[in-house]
Chain A
């Protein structure tokens, strides 16, 4: 940052210290904004929802929901990033929530599930269409520190300046190194049905 100031001063030798300070502040602000998020011109949310069900022999219980999913869409390229805080999943049963975080997903070590990828065949005209559009998400899904290439179907709908995106996917527990104790292995499903839905707004709103 020091070099920015030196460069600025050499270009504007007649500027008063106050003006130099102002430009320095502008540079600092721009630099910080670029580091944090880089969401300018993008659509985003921090309050998307995700829920999953993994019923095996134990019915209706292995299910949880969160409402603090972060998602960012770049409307120019169709790039998508989704981040789900693992510890934000709320279960109906405290014991199950505790086991999910401490034994299975180890949220202290792997606090987020991440998706980083792209809407397949993204076209800028998709941002003009009304009604629900069928899309495909392609990219890397990382859960429990293990990353896998995925292609998942989804939908996208524009409404009132917002973009609603959703997907339903099946996550195979063993694929992500999640170890289920032998005692309950036969009682819990090997796959979890996950639904994610986000309502994206232009960043800054």
Chain B
């Protein structure tokens, strides 16, 4: 009798728990990349060179991957209060456009040496540049 009673309590609880878990998973917002380790770490100029030399091969290496790049800030800009961009480059043509995940207290200025982690969204041969999004500025080692 006691066993039957515990079924009546346990099964609905289990169903409710599974439902709650599913609901949480379904509504989960995209996670910040703060704690995601990068699959590759390289100089912004190296990333550009690799894409400009062989875009297909570089797509396999970097596209949709969390990567960390370092380089010199060419400029930064904002669109309203919530959309912020930093451009990194080196000596050559093109640059790496990083859209920041969230507002920074202070955007980097031209000439600043910075390090940035984000998802590589690809190489654009219209401009010769690489784009990254959901980026976060990381302290230089």
Contacts and interface: CB of A to CB of B under 8 A. Distances in A.
Interface of A: 32-33, 35-37, 39, 44, 46-47, 49, 66-68, 70, 72, 81, 83, 85-88, 90-95, 97, 101, 107-108, 111-112
A49 B82 CA distance: 13
A37 B29 contact: no
Given A46-B127, A67-B83, A88-B99, A107 B26 contact: no
Contact of A46 (B27, B52, B124): B124
B30 A83 contact: no
B112 interface: no
Contact of B131 (A44, A46, A81, A94): A46
Contacts, number: 97
Contacts of B99: 47, 67-68, 88
Interface string B14-34: 000000000001111111000
List 8 tightest A-B contacts by C-beta distance, closest first: A36-B128, A85-B121, A111-B122, A94-B30, A88-B121, A88-B133, A87-B121, A37-B128
B94 interface: yes
Interface range for B: 20 to 34
